[in-house]
Each structure stands twice: as C-alpha cells, then as structure tokens.
C-alpha cells in the first residue's frame, strides 16, 4: 500500500530540496547523511516509513544543522501512479527538487526464463520506468535551479549478466540514459552523473536472493558510506560517470578487453556459485 503523506505540513516558502529515492538504507541512506552534513535540505523516499522517519530524526539532530527536518514520503515507486503522486505531494508540501538522486532499485538472481515474470517486470518498473519518469518529471525544476541529477547504476552496466539478466540490462539502460541526458541538459546548466558502484555490503543481496555470497568479487567491496561520498563528490563536480574503488575500476577496464563469449561464461558462473551457496 502506498502512503504518500508528507511528514511536514505545507509551508508558504518554497523549499529547494535534494530528493533521494531508496533512502531507507544502504547507499541511499548514506547519501542522505553526506548531503545533510553539507547542509542540504532533503526529501527522502522509500517504502519503509519507519526507517525513513528514523533517518529524518537522526539528521534533524545533527549539530549546527539549520535546514528543517527532511520531508519523508513512503511509497513504492514501482507502482505506476507513484511518481506523479510524489510530484503532487512535493508541490503540496511547498518543495521542489534542485537535486534529484535516483537510487531506488533492486535485482533478482536466477535465469530469466525460469524466474517469476511479475517480479522481473517489477525490476524494470523500478530500475528503468520510475527512474526515467522521475528524471523527466523533475527536469523543469532542475533546469530552473541549474541543479544536478545523480542516477545510481552499477558496474553491471558495463557487461551482460546471465543469471541476473534483467538487472544487468536495467543498469546498462541507466548508464546509457544518464550519459545521453548529461549532454542534453548541459546547455541548461544541469549536470547528470551516473554512479556505478561494484559490490557494496548492503541489503541488496538479501532481496536479490544471494545474501552476502559474492565470491571473489568480495575483494572489490567498497563500504556504502565511501560509495555515497564518492557519488556526492562526483555529482557536485559535474562528472558524467563515477566508479568508486580502484579494484572496481579495474574490473570495468578488464571487462572492456575481455571477449564477450568468455565474459558471458564467467558472469554466468559467478551467478551459479551465488545460487548454490545461497541454497546451502
């Protein structure tokens, strides 16, 4: 059920906020903390209202903070009506985004033809459709404020992903869309950044179906706070693409040099190991 009631009543003064989706945990929550410490006024979006309120209360207590308590909107952005409803509720709360962070997303482990169809379409709804709709719905206020857009992609964007085909393809879309939009919006003073983290110890693996079973790629782990800081810094610097972590950069470089047939087999083998380890 979608609960899009804002946590604060509407005000007569227009609030220029950083809108962060998927802010209840992981990279999204850490981005909120980084931005709060830099003094940004925030609007936080995720499904878990309790976690969002806890984060908003934490941020409101930061020493020396002058911005008001973050706005909180609890909703499932994969629902077709959610982005439009979020736009309306932000307006009713007297706020508009000067920075948009599209962080919400998830993946599912398993072969595409054998996995639940509705669940896989849900990945597309959230990772692609909602991200695209929010980027375009809020393009006008971003342009008016000469703002910034940060889309969270993944190193998965740089390679096909048998065993997680829909997720990898969705992140390839996010990267391609973000880079194209960066060129289109640059004349309007808006920067667009694609953040492409590698393996990050968050709740992503639990929802995807493999827990923390990352195999050898665990060597490339970058903590969520470090990923968030790298993403924030890249966004504020107007970078088009940011890949946090030296080993993660090496993974992307190596993938670009690897024959596609060999890369496909190795990615498939990684997902198979995750599936077997997750079943143990």
Does the annotation mark 221 as catalytic?
Answer: no
Among 221, 269, 180, 236, CA closest to 37: 236
Q: Locate 37 and state its tokens.
A: 């410490």
Cα 18 to Cα 96: distance, rounded to the nearest angstrom? 9
CB atoms within 10 A of CB 183: 10
Q: Which DSSP category does 64 fall into? A: T
**CA separation for the pair 277, 279 (Å, rounded):** 5
Residue in 167, 173, 221, 232 annotated catalytic: 167
User: What contacts 208, CB < 8 A, 6 or more positions away?
Assistant: 106, 107, 108, 109, 164, 167
Known catalytic residues are: 167
């Amino acid at each position: 059920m979608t609960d899009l009631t804002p946590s604060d009543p509407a005000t007569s003064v227009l609030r220029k906020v950083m809108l962060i989706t998927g802010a209840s945990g992981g990279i999204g929550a850490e981005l909120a903390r980084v931005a709060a410490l830099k003094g940004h006024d925030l609007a936080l979006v995720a499904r878990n209202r309790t976690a969002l309120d806890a984060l908003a209360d934490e941020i409101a207590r930061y020493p020396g903070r002058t911005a008001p308590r973050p706005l909180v909107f609890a909703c499932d952005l994969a629902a077709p009506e959610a982005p439009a409803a979020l736009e309306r509720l932000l307006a009713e709360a007297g706020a508009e985004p000067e920075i948009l962070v599209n962080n919400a997303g998830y993946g599912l482990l398993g072969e595409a033809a054998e996995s639940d169809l509705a669940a896989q379409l849900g990945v597309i709804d959230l990772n692609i459709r909602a991200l695209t709709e929010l980027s375009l719905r809020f393009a006008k206020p971003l342009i008016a404020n000469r703002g910034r857009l940060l889309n969270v992609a993944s190193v998965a964007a740089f390679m096909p992903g048998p065993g997680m085909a829909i997720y990898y393809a969705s992140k390839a879309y996010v990267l391609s869309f973000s880079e194209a939009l960066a060129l289109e919006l640059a004349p309007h003073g808006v920067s667009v950044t694609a953040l492409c983290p590698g393996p990050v110890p968050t709740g992503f693996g639990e929802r995807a179906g493999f827990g923390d079973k990352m195999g050898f790629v665990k060597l490339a782990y970058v903590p969520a706070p470090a990923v968030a800081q790298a993403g924030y810094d890249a966004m504020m610097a107007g970078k088009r693409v940011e890949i946090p972590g030296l080993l993660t950069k090496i993974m992307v470089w190596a993938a670009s040099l690897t024959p596609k047939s060999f890369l496909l087999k190795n990615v498939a083998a990684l997902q198979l190991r995750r599936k077997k380890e997750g079943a143990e």
